[in-house]
Amino acid sequence: MYSDFDREIGEERVEQERQAKLNAARKALKQMGTEECVDCGASISLARRQVYPSATRCLECQEMTEKEAYLR
């Protein structure tokens, strides 16, 4: 059985991991993306780069990447 101390340590660790993920996501959003897709080499639309400045994939390749990740 876990003590209150063990639970507190566990909760602190979960919170630290959550904060680390949030910070990584914020950093990724601030980084500049590319004008060309890293997967297919096609041009990333200006509209996509304005909405998501750190984009490194065109919309089609991003959708395929997310579908593959979802199906795993």
* pLDDT mean by block of 10 residues, the chain; 72 residues: 84 94 81 88 93 92 94 85
DSSP letter at 57 equals S
Nearest partner of 56 among 71, 68, 41, judged by Cα: 41
Using the Cα atoms of residue 64, residue 69, residue 39 and residue 53 in order, give the sign of their dihedral: positive
Total tally of structural domains belonging to the chain: 1
pTM of the model: 0.55
Question: What is residue 7's predicted lDDT score, i.e. its pLDDT?
Answer: 87
Compute CA distances 9 → 2, 16, 20, 38, 70, whole Å: 11, 10, 16, 41, 32
Domain that residue 51 falls in: 4-71
Question: For residues 50 and 32, is the Cβ–Cβ distance under 8 A?
Answer: no
Question: What is residue 5's predicted lDDT score, i.e. its pLDDT?
Answer: 85
